[in-house]
Structure formats: C-alpha cells, structure tokens
Amino acid sequence: MLIFAIDDERTLLQFLHSAIAEAAPGAEIRDFLRGQAALDAVAQEGLRPDVVFSDIRMPGVTGLELAVRMKELSAETRIVFVTGYDDYALDAYQRHVSGYLLKPISAAKIREELDALPSPRPAAPTQRLTIQCFGYFEVFWNNRPLHFQRQQSKELFAYLISREGGMCTHGEISAALWEDETDLKLTGNRIRTLLADLRKTFSDIGMEDVLIRHRASLAVNRALLDCDFFRMLDGDMEAVNAFKGEFMVQYSWAEMSAGTLTFHF
C-alpha cells in the first residue's frame, strides 16, 4: 500500500507519518509539506497512492483543492482529511473524500479509518469484448460494434453464448441454426467455415482465447466476456432488472431461452 502524508507543519507531518507507520506497518509512506508536491509526484512520477492523509489549511494548494485535483489524476485514490477544523467536514464529503479525522491524530484513529475505507473498484480494462443479449444480440469491441464477415458467424457465436459457456456438439449447432437441413456433411462444412471466420475475427483483436474447441465441440470462455446474460445468471441485480423479456430476438431458436428466462426471472 502506498500512502501520502501531507501537512505544511513539519512537526505535525512527523506525527502523522509515525501514526500511519504504526497503523499500517507494511505501507510505503511518502511525506509532503505542500499539496502541489504531492500532485507533482502523481503527475510526473506516475505514483498512484492508495490513500492520501492531508491537512486542509495549507499555503498554495489547499486540502480541498488537492482532493479535486488528485481525483482527476488518480480516480481510485482515497482522500482522508486530517485537520483541527471540523467546519470543513461538509465541503470534504462533497468532494467525495473517503474520511475526515480531527487532530490530534493517533495510530488507532488512522487504523480505524483505513479499516473503514471502501475497497477500490478494479480498474476497467482498456480493451473489452462486450456482449448484449437482451433485445437484439450485439457484440462490441471497445464500445464499437464488432464486424463479422458473415452474419451466420455472429449467429453461431450467439448460440454458443446462449449455452452459457457449455460445450456444444456440431450436431446441436446444426439442429439450432439449420433445423430443416438433413445433410450432416453440408452442415459440418458450414460450421467449419463459420468457425474459421470467428477465429480470424477474434484473432484480429487479440481475443482468440474467447473460443474453446475440443474435438467436435465448441464453447466460449465466459471469463473473457462482459455479457449481460452471464451477469444475470451470476445474480447481478442490475442485469436482472435490465431483462425485459427479450433475448436475442433476431434468432428464432432463442425464443425458448427467452421464455425460460422470463419464467425464472
């Protein structure tokens, strides 16, 4: 854990440092006499403190200004004000500060504050494959529609998604996508063609591991997908509430799945 300690009074900064060191013995602590110096460390050195303990009344950049600018540079950093002036509390919380401590500071107060801090949200990946199953089935790469060379390649991928990550045989795929076709050799060739197209599509964006192939069976790797359907199955209430009874509506074979989901959710 990286912790910044900021106070324009050197003696008080030493007290603050000692209290933090006692409360979090394994943490790396960086001391600053000015808020601007702490901001420079983030902007220029690339440091991303987990927590900042800062005085409010300081020359130059005040603690309140520091909170705003620090969040712009490092959104996941938690800000805790350490001050002798409790009239700043409202302004502090309005700036999304995680905590507020009144002097004199002790290791017990610091530890209590650290224990109460919410867990930081994991950083959103810069590249993500997002799947929309509710309503029309759509696939997005970095928030842009992913282009498939063949529409049936997209449909094959949709069917694999609908199977919740389970392995699907060529026979099951054929029965869903071409229910009236009896020529197994023909449907087998179609599947191989669509699979080759899918593999190239995902390989081009560095996501070739999305597809799992084992002999004559196919599946998708759920762990690599941000999918509304999978999140609903995992109990995500936001996804559950987003489901309005429509599921991959452009595909007739998905009608039964839509009915099942409506019944359960």
pLDDT tens column, 163-201: 998 999 999 999 999 988 888 889 889 999 999 999 999
- Let me know whether 165 and 255 are in one domain: yes
Question: Taking 50 as the threshold, does the pLDDT of residue 9 lie above it?
Answer: yes
pLDDT at 6 over 90: yes
Task: Region of 183 please: left (phi>0), alpha (psi -120 to 50) or beta.
Answer: beta
Name 169's Cβ contacts closer than 8 Å, sequence gap at least 6.
216, 217
Average pLDDT, the chain: 86
Task: Say whether both 153 and 239 belong to one domain.
Answer: yes
For β-strands 28-32 and 144-145, DSSP reports them as: unpaired
Higher pLDDT, 128 or 31: 31
Q: Among 116, 140, 157, give the residue marking a domain's end.
A: 116
pLDDT number for residue 92 = 47
Residue 163, Cβ neighbours under 10 Å: how many?
16
Regarding whether 140 and 198 lie in a shared domain, the answer is yes
Q: Is the pLDDT of residue 91 over 70?
A: no
Same domain for 112 and 139, yes or no, is no
Task: Report yes or no on 175 lying in a domain.
Answer: yes
86 shares its domain with 156: no
Residues with Cβ within 8 Å of residue 148, at least 6 apart in sequence: 139, 154, 157, 197, 198, 201
Calculate mean pLDDT across residues 154-165. 95
Q: Is residue 124 part of a domain?
A: no
Domain membership of residue 122 (yes or no) is no
14 and 58 share one domain: yes
Regarding whether 151 and 241 lie in a shared domain, the answer is yes
CATH number at residue 36: 3.40.50.2300
Alpha-carbon separation of residue 204 from 102, 141, 162 (angstroms): 55, 11, 24
- Is the same domain home to 185 and 90? no
Under the banding of pLDDT at 50, 70 and 90, the label for residue 50 is very high
CA atoms within 13 A on the CB side of 15: 15
Inside any domain, residue 121: no
| Domain tally, the chain | 2
Residues 133 and 250 in one domain: yes
Q: Please determine, for residue 90, whether its predicted confidence score (pLDDT) is greater than 60.
A: no
The pLDDT value recorded for residue 118 is: 63
pLDDT at 96 over 50: no
Higher pLDDT, 93 or 78: 78
Q: What value does the mean pLDDT take over residues 233-239?
A: 82
Q: What range does the domain containing 222 cover?
A: 129-264
212 in the same domain as 250: yes
96 and 147 within one domain: no
Predicted confidence at residue 87, as pLDDT, reads 56
Residues forming beta bridges with residue 84, ordered by sequence position: none
Averaged pLDDT for residues 34-59: 91
The residue assigned the tokens 């991928």 is 157
In a domain, 139, yes or no: yes
Higher pLDDT, 75 or 209: 209
Residue that wins the pLDDT comparison between 11 and 116: 11
Owner of token pair 């020529």? 183
Kindly state whether residues 47 and 76 are assigned to the same domain: yes
- Cα separation, 70 vs 48, whole angstroms: 10
Q: For residue 95, which of 81, 116, 109 has the smallest C-alpha distance?
A: 81
In this predicted structure, what is the pLDDT of residue 34? 94
